[in-house]
């Protein structure tokens, strides 16, 4: 497993994923799509990546918006695993 990051390490790692925010014990980002169907397609793509990495985010779907929260539950906060997954998720919407 990955070690818990301190506040300074989280701040430094956020430079890799500038669209993400740090909130207490997780990092999060809200993605917005044209419609519900696109939002669900995105959720399904995130699920595939999460399964491959065996690291699962919390997902909150609100019509065309998907809020993604990443935390390493076994460590009780944010680890390098969360930033690695955030980078992979970001590639789904780049371009």
Task: Beginning with the edge strand found earlier in the chain, give each strand of the sheet holding 21-23 in spatial order.
Answer: 21-23, 26-32, 65-70, 58-62
Condensed to tens digits (0 to 9), the pLDDT of residues 5-62 reads 999 999 999 999 999 999 999 999 999 999 999 999 999 999 999 999 999 999 999 9
**Segment 77-93 mean pLDDT:** 97
pLDDT for the residue numbered 95: 59
- Domains belonging to the chain, first-starting first, are 7-91 (3.30.1360.20)
Using alpha carbons, list the distances in angstroms from residue 32 to 10, 15, 25, 93, 94.
24, 21, 23, 10, 13
The angle subtended at Cα 32 by Cα 41 and Cα 55, nearest 5°, is 55
Residue 79 above 90 pLDDT? yes
Residue 85 above 70 pLDDT? yes
pLDDT for the residue numbered 68: 98
pLDDT for the residue numbered 94: 81
Inter-residue contact 62 to 94 (CB < 8 Å): no
Q: Angle formed by the axes of helices 36-53 and 80-91, to 10°?
A: 140
Residue 65 above 80 pLDDT? yes
């Amino acid at each position: 497993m990955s070690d818990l990051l301190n506040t300074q390490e989280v701040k430094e790692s956020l430079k890799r994923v500038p669209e993400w925010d740090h909130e207490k014990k997780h990092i999060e980002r809200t993605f917005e799509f044209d419609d519900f169907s696109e939002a669900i397609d995105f959720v399904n793509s995130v699920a595939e990546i999460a399964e491959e990495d065996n690291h699962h985010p919390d997902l909150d779907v609100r019509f065309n918006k998907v809020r993604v929260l990443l935390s390493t539950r076994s460590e009780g906060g944010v680890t390098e695993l969360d930033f690695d997954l955030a980078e992979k998720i970001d590639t789904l919407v780049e371009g």
